[in-house]
Amino acid sequence: MPQDPLLKHLYAVILAGGSGTRFWPLSRRRFPKQLLELFGRGSLLEQTVARLKDLVPPERIYIFTNQLLHAEICRRFPRIPSHQIVAEPAARNTAPTIGLAAHEVLRRDPDGIMVVLPADQVVTKLGQFRNALRQACRLAETEGISVVIGLKPSRPETGYGYIRVGNPLRRMKGLQIFEVLKFTEKPNLATARRFVAAGDYFWNGGMFIWRATTLQRNLARYQPGMERLLSRIARAGGVRATATLRRLFPRMEKISIDYALMEKIPEIYAVTVDLGWSDVGSWSTVYELRPKDEKGNSQPAQSLCLNSERNLIVADRKFVVAVGVRDLIVVDTDDALLVCAQSSAQDVGKAVQELERRGLKHLL
Amino acid sequence: MPQDPLLKHLYAVILAGGSGTRFWPLSRRRFPKQLLELFGRGSLLEQTVARLKDLVPPERIYIFTNQLLHAEICRRFPRIPSHQIVAEPAARNTAPTIGLAAHEVLRRDPDGIMVVLPADQVVTKLGQFRNALRQACRLAETEGISVVIGLKPSRPETGYGYIRVGNPLRRMKGLQIFEVLKFTEKPNLATARRFVAAGDYFWNGGMFIWRATTLQRNLARYQPGMERLLSRIARAGGVRATATLRRLFPRMEKISIDYALMEKIPEIYAVTVDLGWSDVGSWSTVYELRPKDEKGNSQPAQSLCLNSERNLIVADRKFVVAVGVRDLIVVDTDDALLVCAQSSAQDVGKAVQELERRGLKHLL
């Protein structure tokens, strides 16, 4: 397949600074979800990078993360230039990070097109992903156009944001392109049901594509204070100017790109697609996505399920025996063990908060 | 309290050769139930020995066990003369062991009275135990009389043998003494209910008291082949004659004292008593006997139960978090983890059989 000349200008910006507690005890502050090997080979971050093969080479990939994870991520991605793996001096949500990335891209390539990708998602339909990214890139080449990947909703999920689209604009390589009417926040269940039934709502997975110049112009217009700070950092040398970065980055507003820009800017196209996508929100999502045996158990080789059904067992250091149990999540690590009802997977974070309240820092 | 002169002739024979799988993964072949610290201080065996304080001094205590456990038990009981901790060369059930013990006692004391005690039981009413043992000892002083401790049944348990008694003989220090009519095997539930309702059935906990001469005479009469082999071992030097023991002991019939004698001999008295007794048959018995918090959880200090009720958590090497789970047994060890429904506690043995079938010897 001949290389699309457009792709020469494509830069990936992977957001890998997330921290969370929903995958405790496997995830910890120094080892969050994006570093976990939950499905198949490699961590979610490694899979995110791997999905870009033949689309974006390592020298055009940027990974933004936090101080705690920086060394580990550098170790895992020796082919990505180390100055492109950036430790943000403070967590400022996605808008400042993406703005910072735009300046890095522009420094190298005035025609640079950025694809923003969260590092902690699952995409099972690789061909669709690659196709969608190519078409999005083609659309984003037009100055002023922002593109979002709109994910076909398969259920009335209340944990995701939605995108409402207007009339279809065109079809590209089997993908329907729409103009975006509105970004909406996480709905309640009734609203989510209505969204899915209506057919003109798509999940917002946080995957965006635009020219770096388009983004920069939008930031200058809608977030002028942020853009001024970003320009000062860029003039000082960008992400390599660590002292400046450390001084100015924390001064920016803590705000997501959705709030900061996407809900405000006029010209957004949605490339709509079914990616077999999940943001892997809890252990019960892991259970859903993993292969299971005929009794519905997802278990390691070193385990035995007797009269047990629909359990997720995660353990690699010891033999696990389940007897007469159903719908459980069992996660064993060196220093902590979780036994959780599938229906309570959303409460794992609460348990971790309680550990924090008790001062059990070594477990966080 | 002045020492009862009778007690000078009392010898304890503790049967600690049992092996089992129901307390896997805490119990292993080399670390069976009697060595586990399931309740309070010390293992069940250590508690069995401790209960004899002021009744039987260490120099009159015999512990019979198997080759695998011998060294560990010697290590734990430095005050018991090491030749009185006997490793049986083969498992032959209780009758040959008790017969062997009788010869050891007779060698030292022709007036010796033996109390036979299983090593893996719980007795919560220590005063009652000591009183019952004293009265049983007094009864057993009479040549020809065998005494069994009859335990007041608190529920229609199908896992125990029962003793049917006849008319009461007398009261001794608050204890009712009966003549035993019959030993019966484990009943089904309907029969067990009838037994408990009838009032003349008691649990047989395997605690027996008799003069060594009485036992020997009964063995000679009802198990003459066994008694001949036992006499040959005794003439060679008893349990210290390890070569002879190794040669002759395995030739004896594998038979319990209940079948071999108790169901056959005529004059048996039952000292009936409520000892707060349990043979601790499974993890669910452990749950019942352990202290619990207001939610019914029995858990170690290093654990957190969130929206969780009636769980038994056994773990001393890591922090355990339970979220939204009920009626579970969770037992964590270095190399194995059990997660079992309370209602399936009886199936733990089946799981261990499956491990054996898979050749996972290191886990047994």
**Secondary structure of B10-78 as H, E, C letters:** EEEEEECCCCCCCCCCCCECCECHHHCCCCCCCCHHHHHHHCCCCCCCHHHEEEEEEHHHHHHHHHHCC
Phi and psi at B218, nearest 5°, equal: -65, -40
- Non-local CB neighbours of B280 within 8 Å, separated by 6+ positions: B33, B38, B44, B120, B121, B122, B286, B289
Q: Which tokens go with B206?
A: 């395997």
Phi and psi at A80, nearest 5°, equal: -85, 125
**Nearest to B177, CA basis, from B254, B103, B272:** B272
- Non-local CB neighbours of A46 within 8 Å, separated by 6+ positions: A76
Q: Which tokens go with B267?
A: 């004059």
**What is the ipTM for the molecules in this complex?**
0.88
Q: What is the pLDDT of residue A107?
A: 95
For β-strands B328-332 and B336-341, DSSP reports them as antiparallel
Is some CB atom of chain B closer than 8 A to the CB atom of A356?
no
| A336-346: pLDDT as tens digits | 999 999 999 99
pLDDT at residue A2 tops 70: no
Q: Which tokens go with A78?
A: 């020796």
CA angle A180, A184, A187 (to 5 degrees): 140
Q: Do A347 and B323 touch (CB under 8 A)?
A: yes
Mean pLDDT of B72-89: 96
Q: Which 8-state DSSP code applies to residue A124? A: -
User: In this structure, are A16 and A65 located in the same domain?
Assistant: yes
| A161-178: pLDDT as tens digits | 999 999 899 999 999 999
User: In this structure, are A53 and A177 located in the same domain?
Assistant: yes
Is A127:A51 a contact under the CB 8 Å cutoff? no
Q: Do A360 and B319 touch (CB under 8 A)?
A: yes
| A73-109: pLDDT as tens digits | 999 999 999 999 999 999 999 999 999 999 999 999 9
Distance CA A9, CA B181 (A): 97
Q: What is the pLDDT of residue A3?
A: 66
pLDDT at residue B345 tops 90: yes
Phi and psi at A358, nearest 5°, equal: -80, 0
Q: What is the longest distance spanned by two Cα atoms in chain B? A: 65
| B88-128: pLDDT as tens digits | 999 999 999 999 999 999 999 999 999 999 999 999 999 99
B70: closest CA of chain A, how far (Å): 28
Is some CB atom of chain A closer than 8 A to the CB atom of B304?
yes
User: In this structure, are A294 and A153 located in the same domain?
Assistant: no
Distance CA A130, CA A243 (A): 38
Confidence label for A359 from pLDDT (cuts 50, 70 and 90): very high
Q: Show residues of chain B in contact with A338, CB under 8 Å.
A: 320-321, 323
Is B134:B204 a contact under the CB 8 Å cutoff? no
Q: What is the pLDDT of residue A1?
A: 46
Q: What is the pLDDT of residue B235?
A: 96
User: In this structure, are A192 and A72 located in the same domain?
Assistant: yes
Q: What is the pLDDT of residue B270?
A: 98
Q: Do B319 and A343 touch (CB under 8 A)?
A: no
Is some CB atom of chain A closer than 8 A to the CB atom of B99?
no
pLDDT over 70, % of chain A: 99
Other Cβ atoms less than 10 A from the Cβ of A335: the count is 12
Distance CA B89, CA B67 (A): 7
pLDDT over 90, % of chain B: 91
Is A20:A33 a contact under the CB 8 Å cutoff? yes
User: In this structure, are A214 and A296 located in the same domain?
Assistant: no
Burial status of residue B362 (CB atoms within 10 A of its CB: 0-12, 13-18, 19 or more): exposed
Which of B250, B278, B306 is at the close of a domain?
Answer: B278
Q: What is the pLDDT of residue A41?
A: 85
| A237-251: pLDDT as tens digits | 999 999 999 999 999
| A209-228: pLDDT as tens digits | 999 999 999 999 999 999 99
Give me the count of residues in chain A.
364
pTM of the model: 0.87
Burial status of residue B274 (CB atoms within 10 A of its CB: 0-12, 13-18, 19 or more): middle
Which residue in the block uniquely carries the two structure tokens 């043995």? B349
Secondary structure (DSSP) of B168-231:
EEEEETTEEEEEEEEEE----HHHHHHHHHHS-EEEEEEEEEEEHHHHHHHHHHH-HHHHHHHH
User: In this structure, are B78 and B145 located in the same domain?
Assistant: yes
Mean pLDDT of chain B: 95
Q: How many domains does chain B contain in total?
A: 2
Burial status of residue B256 (CB atoms within 10 A of its CB: 0-12, 13-18, 19 or more): middle
Q: Which of B323, B337, B350 minimises the CB distance to A318?
A: B337
Find residues 253-282 of chain B whose CB sits inside 8 Å of chain A.
Answer: none
CA of A356: which chain B residue's CA is closest? B304
Q: Do B347 and A324 touch (CB under 8 A)?
A: yes
Q: What is the pLDDT of residue B1?
A: 46
Confidence label for B278 from pLDDT (cuts 50, 70 and 90): very high
Is some CB atom of chain B closer than 8 A to the CB atom of A59?
no
Q: What is the pLDDT of residue B214?
A: 97
Q: What is the pLDDT of residue B4?
A: 77
CA of B336: which chain A residue's CA is closest? A319
pLDDT at residue B136 tops 80: yes
Is some CB atom of chain B closer than 8 A to the CB atom of A83?
no
User: In this structure, are A186 and A334 located in the same domain?
Assistant: no
Q: What is the pLDDT of residue A110?
A: 96
**Nearest to B206, CA basis, from B247, B246, B164, B162:** B162
Q: What is the longest distance spanned by two Cα atoms in chain A? A: 65
Q: What is the pLDDT of residue B40?
A: 81
Identify the CATH number of the domain in which residue B204 sits.
3.90.550.10
User: In this structure, are A198 and A345 located in the same domain?
Assistant: no
| A4-19: pLDDT as tens digits | 788 899 999 999 998 8
B294: closest CA of chain A, how far (Å): 19
Mean pLDDT of B176-204: 95
Write out the H or E segment, with its range, that includes residue A257.
helix A257-257
Distance CA A13, CA B353 (A): 53
Give me the count of residues in chain B.
364
pLDDT over 70, % of chain B: 99
Distance CA A299, CA A296 (A): 9
Q: Do A323 and B334 touch (CB under 8 A)?
A: no
Mean pLDDT of chain A: 95
* Site from A23, A319, A331, A353 to mutate, B interface, most B CB atoms within 10 angstroms: A319
Mean pLDDT of B52-79: 96
User: In this structure, are A64 and A172 located in the same domain?
Assistant: yes
Secondary structure (DSSP) of A148-210:
EEEEPPSS--SSSEEEEEEEEEEEETTEEEEEEEEEE----HHHHHHHHHHS-EEEEEEEEEE
Mean pLDDT of B191-202: 95
User: In this structure, are A333 and A262 located in the same domain?
Assistant: no
Which of A251, A278, A305 is at the close of a domain?
Answer: A278
Write out the H or E segment, with its range, that includes residue A67.
helix A67-76
Collapsing DSSP to helix, strand or coil, A13 comes out as strand
User: In this structure, are B139 and B244 located in the same domain?
Assistant: yes
**What domain range includes position B38?**
5-278
Write out the H or E segment, with its range, that includes residue B356.
helix B348-357
User: In this structure, are A169 and A76 located in the same domain?
Assistant: yes
- Non-local CB neighbours of A359 within 8 Å, separated by 6+ positions: none
- Non-local CB neighbours of A135 within 8 Å, separated by 6+ positions: A172, A173, A175, A177, A271
Other Cβ atoms less than 10 A from the Cβ of B171: the count is 10
Which of B278, B307, B329 is at the close of a domain?
Answer: B278
